[in-house]
Structure formats: C-alpha cells, structure tokens
Amino acid sequence: MKNPYILALISGLLLAASWPTYGISLIVFIAFVPLLLAEYSIRKSEAKKTNRRVWLVGYTTFFVWNLLTTWWIYNSTGFGMLFAVLVNSLLMSIVFLLYHLVAKKFPPKIHYVFLPAIWMAFEKFHLNWDFSWPWLNLGNVFATSTHYIQWYEYTGSFGGSLWVWILNLGFFNLVLKYIATKSLKSVQKRLVFNLLWIAIPIVISLLIKSNYEESGKEIEAVILQPNIDPYTDKYYTTNKKVAQILMDMAAEKADENTEIILAPETVFAKSFRINDFSEDYTMYRLRTFLKRYPKANLLAGTSFIDVFHDPKEITSQSNQYNENTWYNDYNSAFFLNATTDSIPVYHKSKLVVGVENFPFKSVLEPLLGNVMLDLGGTVATKTTQEDRTVFSADDYKVAPVICYESVYGEFVSKYIQNGAEFIAIITNDAWWGNTQGHKQHLNYARLRAIENRKSVVRSANTGISAIINQTGDIQQTLEYGVQGSLKGKIHLNNKVTFYARYGDYIARVAVLASALILLFAFTRKRKL
C-alpha cells in the first residue's frame, strides 16, 4: 500500500471536501477509507511502535480536516484557532488510536462495531464537557443536503454519523477485497450493497419530504438585521441608540398582523442591571413602540449584569471585580410586549469555550489566572440556567435559542419538550468575517428544523438572517453584511418528534457499546 501519511493526507482532504458549505456531502462516505487503509497496513506490518505511527497518521488526517474547515476562527483570534484545531485534532486522533488498540485484539466483527461506537461516544462527550466543540460532528456534514436526511426527525444528527461510518467501513472492506483478489468481479456484490446503503436512506428521505405538509396556524414574523460591527461599533453604541435603530427597521416591515419581531444576540450590548431591567427607560420606549402593533412581541438579545457583595452568593460562574465585589454576567434573550410589565428572560446556557466560560475554572484559574480569550467583546465567565425557557404569547410558544446553542441537537429538543411551537435563533456571527463560519452556522440550523419539525426564524447581527421551514428548506435570507429586515409567515407546530422526545439515544447506545468493548479489550491479554 502507499505511504500511510499520504493516505492520511488524502482522508483529511476528502473530509474537508465533503464539508458544508462548499463541499459535496456524498464524498464523506469514502473519506475515511484511505485512513483506514493506512491503519490496516501499519497494524499488519511487522514494525514496532505501531501505536505511535497510527496516532501520527490519524493526527495528520484530523489536523488537515480541522484546519481546512475551521480556519476562519482566525478572524477572531489566532490563538483560539490554533487551540481549536490542534486540540480537536488531538482528541480525534486519540479516538482513532483506541480503535487501533482494539483492532489488534479483536476480529473485524467486533472492531467494526467499536469504531462507529467510540466515535459517536466521543461526539456525545464533545457536546457536554467544558471544552465542547461539536462543530465537526459527522452528522453535521449533511447540513446543506437536507433532502438526504429527513429521517433525522427519528435519529437526530447521530443517525448521520452512524450512516457515514457504515459506508466508510463498507467501502474499506471492498477495497481490501479488491487488493486481495485483484478482481473487479469479486467486489461487485459489495459495491451494490454499499450503493444500496447510500440510496435507500436517501429514497426514504425523499419520500418523507414529498409527503410532508406543513399545517397549523400561520403567524407573521419580522426579522431584523442591524449589521452593527462588533469590533468598532457594537460595544460603543448606547442602548438608547440601538433601540431607535431597531424601531426604525421594524417600522419598515411590521403591520397589524405581525406577531413576533426578532432582533439579534446581545444587540443591547451595554449591560442592563438585571433587577432594574423592567423599569429601564429603553424598555419603556420599546413598549410604547409596540403599541402600534397590537399582536407583536419583541424577542431580542441583551447583556445583563448582577452585582453583589455577599460572598455567600458566589457560584462557580461568578466573576470578581475587586476584593469585596462580585458579579454575574449574562448573555440573554428577553420577550417584550406592550401590555405586560414583567419581561420573561432566558439566559444562554451553552457557552463558547474561552469566550463565555472558563473551562475547568475552579482548577485552572488559580494556576493560570484569567486567560479568557477576547472573542466576543467580553472576557467574563457567563452565568447560565439549567432549564430551557419557552416564551409564551397569546397565540404561540417560541424557543429562544442563542447563537452557539443551535449546534446542539438534544439541547434544542428540550425547548420542544417544554412546549415550543417554533424556534427563534438570535446570533452574532460577525466575529468570523465573511467566511464559511457564518454559512456553516446558518445551515446547522436546518438540522434543528428537521429534527424537531419546527420552523426556524433566525436573526443574525450581520447575517445571514433567515426563515427556514419544517423540512429544513431556507425560504428567505438576508445576505451577509447588509442592514435590513425580512418579513414572512411561519407555521406553528406542537408535534413532538421521536427525536425530540428521546434525544441522542443512538449516542447513548454507542457509549455503552464502546465502554463494554474497551473494558473487555483491556482485560484480555491475547487476541481472539
């Protein structure tokens, strides 16, 4: 076989070539095959220190993949990009090394189960720990090919991860068979079998989509895209001025039928005192404006701060200002109408690593000090909430999903379990510039629409703002880098899909399977 490092490089390039939004998703079904061939050749060789070689080969693949698909983080911070690429590649290569160790001890019927299982266990782990970065979870690869994966309403994105590994292992075995026999005829049946594994899920998906009809009440939404530069303007613009910008923009599209007006994440960047928020003059002005539109509610993002002096109130997410003063900092959404004095609030709970949370703060902060990365106008740890708040209007219930949270499938499904009838995503993707970053983020929202069969309205500060229907089709967009607004109708839906009800059940099975195989592998001394 060829040099394993060349094979590893090919796999990295194929993975990048499959990734949204510039890639061709079907390439992913063969992307791991060169890497698997490299591992196989090393494992079957008589060379010593195969573990180190497999790790280096795996790291080559994953470094190329991570670099080519997430280099755009560099626009916010060079260090952050290097950290994300290097560490994520390291974690992926360790997972692949575990596969190599198991493959040396067990026959294919076991280690071919272990590889998808340990990879999905890793993806599940990556959704929940302090350094969470699930951007490259394999199920996300179909974000621009939603006609292939309408069955995500039953499996979630982990169904896509499993599909990818089944096909890669299938084509890998086909190649091994051909290498052994040098006969195309000998692999015809395997080829047909693999092609059916591609075709059948796609046909099922197309049938689901062709028979799916949006039903239920329609409501009118107005989505605002103020296009305020976060590097030069956002954190230097008063809340009073921002409110005027939003009101002027909304007035261009809103009418007596408008039921929700959506504004971006932390559009009010000057932190309100959380206890005085309802009485703030800016809220008074917005309430007065909303009286023109009797059905309308404003869902917008804001920063909050809660200053306190009692050490008993300190939590793991609190920040110290000086010797006797602490504060909690929030990235939040609020829901305002013209008639209600109280203003419901939701605090963002899936935080961007190094920007909004200090990973393993209790351990690392005493050692390193405050080394938070300034990626978003703040270096303070954000305070989160445990439950998913659903905002209720007279005629609908909406999930307020803030920015990075939209990448987390099971997390978003908790809003649906709490009664949300559609999803509102508010975000600020300007940190990455006009790159693949904000485009990938938009398309990941399409996966949430399918998983939950919910319409999505998306307000992004600099774009891309959008309306997405329940089958993941983008109905309207407002391009990146312009100020403007969208107006459209969306369907409400109180259905709870199989995935929304049961979440990442495939990943939980994978965690159990991989743990059992690992336990068995490392308690055995010889290969079966």
Would you state the pLDDT for residue 376?
39
Would you state the pLDDT for residue 372?
46
- Within its chain, how far is the Cα of 73 from the centroid? 15
Question: What residue ranges of the chain have pLDDT lower than 70?
Answer: 1, 354, 358-379, 524-528
Would you state the pLDDT for residue 377?
39
Structure tokens at 5: 């490092």
Q: Using omega within 30 degrees of 0 as the cis cutoff, is the peptide bond preceding 73 cis?
A: no
CA pseudo-torsion sign 80, 86, 87, 89:
positive
Question: Given the structure tokens 């983008």, which residue do they identify?
Answer: 474
Question: Is the CATH number 1.10.540.10 carried by domain 218-492?
Answer: no
Would you state the pLDDT for residue 374?
43
Would you state the pLDDT for residue 86?
95
Note whether 35 and 56 are within 8 A (CB): no
Would you state the pLDDT for residue 229?
84
Region for 419 from its dihedrals, namely left if φ exceeds 0, alpha if ψ lies in -120 to 50, beta otherwise = left
pTM of the entire predicted model: 0.93
Between the two ends of the chain, the Cα-to-Cα distance in Å is 26
Each domain of the chain, given as residue ranges in start order, spans: 4-212+504-521, 218-492
Would you state the pLDDT for residue 293?
95
Question: Given the structure tokens 């795996």, which residue do they identify?
Answer: 58
- Within its chain, how far is the Cα of 156 from the centroid? 12
Structure tokens at 49: 């220190």
Note whether 409 and 500 are within 8 A (CB): no
